[in-house]
Amino acid sequence: MLGIIPRLAQRMGTADHIYGYEWMIILGGTAGNIMNLFVTHLPVGMMGLPVYGLFSGIFVGCLAMALAENLRVIPVFVRRMRLKQGLPVILLAMALGKCIGSILQFFFEGT
């Protein structure tokens, strides 16, 4: 668990609405999956573009927070596993895995 939702709620001072946040994530993810699965289009026009941009920006910000959280885990992992050697190999494997995954998604999207 990354803890992004509790952290956002704490920073905004809305911790009493955390269950609402969780339900919005569940419903938004479900709606997005259904729209992607059945290729549905919403005719919102130019007025819907700023709303889409706002929510896309929020998503990208949360994604950046999740990436930063993952990067903070690496030193903790190294200390707990008492790694003296092999850290460059582990980091290289993680980077190559991300790269290969991105390339596969790019070339084989939708198959």
Query: pLDDT digit string (tens) for 95-111?
Result: 899 899 989 988 887 65
What residue ranges do the domains of the chain occupy?
1-41, 48-111
Q: What is the 3-state secondary structure (H, E, C) of 76-101?
A: HHHHHHCCCCCHHHHHHHHHHHHHHH
Provide the CA 46 distance to its chain's centre, in angstroms. Answer: 27
pTM for this model (two decimals)? 0.54
Residue 27 is predicted with a pLDDT of 92
Helices (H) and strands (E) in the chain, counts: 4, 0
* Cα–Cα distance measured from residue 10 to residue 6, given in angstroms and rounded to the nearest whole number: 6
Max distance between CA atoms of the chain, in angstroms, equals: 57
Residues constituting the chain: 111
Residue 111 is predicted with a pLDDT of 55
Q: pLDDT band at residue 86, thresholds of 50, 70 and 90?
A: confident
Q: pLDDT band at residue 2, thresholds of 50, 70 and 90?
A: low
Query: pLDDT digit string (tens) for 21-73?
Result: 889 888 988 988 898 899 878 788 899 899 989 988 988 888 887 787 777 88
